Chains A and B, each alone.
Chain A
């Protein structure tokens, strides 16, 4: 999983460039906590920590969780998220390879539900060294949880998806964008971050660490759905480009939905899985209560993975038809003898 970590670098760098040191503190804290908790859990389960840590899976979960959090989150928030991810979602289910849910997204979803305010206040894109940017010191104060509430508010703003979500019903989309609802440079910052994730995803594909099925199915489903909605009512629904490049769509498509442990395995299954995530993301974005929905969509589809896997089994050599679903009466020779 070393190369997956490398593939996150462009995105992390771009996030840092636009949102400041808070991204780095997030990632470093989450990754450190994740590795520490992994070692602790492995130890408690009576295995050798050094062997288990060598696969970098905990490190990757921590990095992904750190990326998802609003920049400059407080340490305790990150700790709660990491505990949920590594201890609850991963090790309570049996450790690497046994978790039905994506650990990073379990942590993220728990935080989003438990601390909605902290989790939806993104820093405005002041850049790393911009005039109003937070210095590393300011970020560390926020990290330690010592910043005053008022200072938090002044520095934070809504993400484009969030702002568009809370647009009053009567306001047309064109009027809304004309009113300049976002901090300066927001849209551009989010777009460049999304493109950085795309670059990381391209690296993953090139290194054959993921196959194209899940990302393409997910983004394709989103594209089709947004195009449809946009064509029907452009005043209320965002454009396809807005949805694909806004929020966590590309990050989720390449780095979250493709987590092999919790995703469907067959090619056909991956297509269904990815497409369903795309549809769920769009449903929640346009009709749900949350501005973005990658975490929820992925977790919901994690539930469906066994079902998808059972119904997308390939046709085994020498069998007339593929097996569908799971039979409840397994091969049971005893049955025949019963009177």
Chain B
């Protein structure tokens, strides 16, 4: 038996491969069982990439359910508040192709404002708010805690007197940052910091003088 195999080159190769495959298969199976991760970290990681506005525009009641749906194979382009950056981050994480956003992208982050004079105190918006960002009691004026509002606009529809506006989120001085320069071959923006060409010339002169001295 052994001699037959040893004499027959092709047979020897096949046997060797089968043995190897079986061995490594067993090893992989054992490792998969032994080091299995409890829970489902992929959902956590997807959830971490979503903007957590809890707006439901994806058709799921909140970001976490959408994260679970993505893990089950749903499209990654259903999150308008996240926009292209979120789609790219998800594509990167899951190894899928990025797709154009399904729906209209939001231009700038928004927050809800209640025109307090018109509010009748019906508490409908309070029940709709997914992050408890609206303060008020029945028959008393309500107001939005701006810092907590995610701009999901779920409170706009339930309002019976249409006293809720979505306005751009106020930006503080600290949030401003420099824009990226235009890139090679293009004229630089006026705001960008100027190199001093004449200074450069002078310093080169000085340097060569030093070199000469």
Contact = CB atoms under 8 A, between A and B. Distances in A.
Q: Within 8 Å by CB, do A and B touch in the complex?
A: yes
Interface of A: 47-48, 51-52, 334, 337-339
Contacts of A52: 185
Given A334-B44, A338-B44, A339-B44, 14 more contacts: A47-B185, A48-B185, A51-B185, A52-B185, A334-B45, A334-B48, A334-B49, A337-B44, A337-B48, A338-B41, A338-B45, A339-B38, A339-B39, A339-B41
A337 B39 CA distance: 13
Interface residues of B, number: 8
Q: Which of B38, B39, B41, B49 has the most CB of A within 10 A?
A: B41
A-B interface, 9 closest residue pairs, ranked by CB to CB distance from nearest = A334-B48, A338-B41, A339-B39, A51-B185, A338-B44, A47-B185, A334-B45, A337-B48, A48-B185
Contacts of B48: 334, 337
A334 B48 CA distance: 7
Nearest to B38: A339
A176 to B, nearest CB: 46
15 contacts: A47-B185, A48-B185, A51-B185, A52-B185, A334-B44, A334-B48, A334-B49, A337-B44, A337-B48, A338-B41, A338-B44, A338-B45, A339-B38, A339-B41, A339-B44
Nearest to B211: A206
A334 B41 CA distance: 11
Nearest to A206: B211
Interface string B26-64: 000000000000110100110011000000000000000
B43 to A, nearest CB: 10
A47 B185 CA distance: 8
Nearest to A334: B48
Contacts of B38: 339
A207 to B, nearest CB: 9
Nearest to B40: A339
Nearest to A42: B185
Contacts of B45: 334, 338
A171 to B, nearest CB: 46
Contacts of A334: 44-45, 48-49
A338 B41 CA distance: 6
Contacts of B185: 47-48, 51-52
Contacts of B49: 334
Contacts, number: 17
Nearest to A95: B184
Interface in B140-192: 185
Interface in B62-94: none
A51 B49 CA distance: 42
A99 to B, nearest CB: 15
A273 B69 CA distance: 51
A162 to B, nearest CB: 41
Nearest to B45: A334
Nearest to B204: A208
A211 to B, nearest CB: 15
A337 to B, nearest CB: 7
A52 B185 CA distance: 8
Contacts of A339: 38-39, 41, 44
A144 B209 CA distance: 50
A338 B185 CA distance: 45
A339 B44 CA distance: 9
Nearest to A47: B185
A339 B38 CA distance: 8
Nearest to A52: B185
A71 to B, nearest CB: 37
B106 to A, nearest CB: 23
Contacts of A47: 185
A51 B39 CA distance: 57
A178 B45 CA distance: 76
A47 B38 CA distance: 53
A205 to B, nearest CB: 11
Contacts of B44: 334, 337-339
A338 B42 CA distance: 9
A52 B184 CA distance: 10
A170 to B, nearest CB: 43
A52 B186 CA distance: 11
A296 B42 CA distance: 46
Nearest to B44: A338
Contacts of B41: 338-339
A339 B48 CA distance: 13
A334 B45 CA distance: 7
B210 to A, nearest CB: 12
A100 B38 CA distance: 44
Nearest to A333: B48
A277 to B, nearest CB: 28
A301 B44 CA distance: 43
A57 to B, nearest CB: 13
A339 B37 CA distance: 9
A338 B49 CA distance: 13
A52 B49 CA distance: 40
